[in-house]
Amino acid sequence: MNDTFDPNLPPSETKPPEPAPATRKLVGIKYRSAGKTYYFDAGPLMFRIGELVIVETEKGLGLARVVTPVEARPVGEVPAETRRVIRKANWNDLERDRKNKERQADAFNFCCERIRERRLPMKLIQVEYFHDASKALFYFFAEQRVDFRELVKDLAHHLHTRIEMKQIGVRDEAKIMGGLGNCGEPVCCATFMSEFAPVSVRMAKDQNLAMNPAKVSGLCGRLMCCLAYEHPLYQEALRSLPRKGKRVQCAHGLCRVADLNIFKQTVVVETPEGSLVEIPAAEVQKNISPEAVEPLPVEPGDDADVLPEEKTPPRNRS
């Protein structure tokens, strides 16, 4: 078929070919294995997953790892502020990264010494150098605000670079430090979680877990992030079950709900004679009084993410 434009054809039969939509090639990169995925303009370059690249950031050049294939997207779907990948990392970049890690170790030890000498109420977590070594970023945890101005002067004088102090919370500390959870596996936040999902006491209650901090708290002391994974399934299952303490009508008469088995979809009821009987939820489902299926009231502390309740320490800014 000839797609060329023929001026001799009637207007209804002449239709110029539509231009192809403009696109930009994007590639996803990560600075850390469990960090967020950022999309950069790949330009004419092609990358394989796992390759190290040099990217343009707001604070200079950065070393990152490719985590997604290069894909073309319409220009209208790409934010105007999207930055570009400069090039693939070469031997000089890898050597600079090795030296930066040596600098980070030296800076970490020096900072810990100065914190002890100045008796500052803070715990140093990590030191991170920019790829061009133009700035060193110090992550620390503290229960309260800390006056670290003199510490910054000591660091700047010793390291001969710009210093930035960043106070982080207990969850961020666990993400950086890593470790093993109650399940025996490495903690989720340090392996695959790129962002923290909200976790509340209500999630633990819906899953019928013991309100024991040693059982439901992670390394950070907050409720385990994995409580949110299956919570929607529990919510769906609980919709077909009566609430504990409510009275329902069943084959044994008017009984009180003593316990629930979400997995078996059964209800343990206390009969008028005082005995406990486990029956299928379907036997009481049709005869549940309206008040028995009302949503559970929100109790004080149900929205908290820690047992017992803790206050979030104020953040420092530098």
Question: Per-residue confidence of the chain (318 residues) as pLDDT tens digits?
Answer: 455 555 565 555 555 666 556 788 888 888 887 788 888 988 888 888 999 999 888 777 889 999 988 888 887 777 777 888 989 999 999 999 999 999 999 999 999 999 999 999 999 999 999 888 888 999 999 988 889 999 999 999 999 999 999 999 888 888 888 888 888 888 888 888 878 888 888 888 888 887 888 888 888 888 898 888 888 888 888 887 888 788 888 877 888 888 888 888 888 888 888 888 888 888 775 444 555 444 445 555 566 665 654 444 455 544
What is the structure's pLDDT at 286? 47
- pTM for the model: 0.70
Nearest to 237 by CA among 260, 212, 271, 213: 260
List Cα–Cα distances, 156 to 60, 107, 153, 160, in angstroms.
19, 10, 5, 5
In angstroms, the CA 116 to CA 309 distance is 30
Q: Phi then psi for 87, rounded to 5 degrees? A: -170, 175
Encoding tokens for residue 25? 């090639």
- Nearest residue to 14 via CA among 29, 3, 28: 3
Q: CATH number for 240-293: choose from 2.30.30.140, 2.40.30.20, 3.40.30.10, 3.30.930.10.
A: 2.30.30.140
Q: What is the reported pLDDT for 208? A: 80
Choosing among 3.30.300, 3.30.43, 3.30.1370, 1.20.120, the CATH entry for 94-168 is: 3.30.300
Q: What pLDDT score was predicted for residue 52?
A: 93
Residue 279, exposed/middle/buried by CB under 10 A (0-12, 13-18, 19+)? middle
Domain boundaries, the chain: 23-89, 94-168, 176-234, 240-293
Q: What is the pLDDT of residue 300?
A: 57
Spell out a b/e string for 95-119, using b for 16 or more CB atoms within 10 Å of the CB, else e.
Answer: ebeeebeebbeebbeebeebbeeee
Instruction: Name the residue type at position 198.
Output: P
3-state secondary structure at position 56: strand
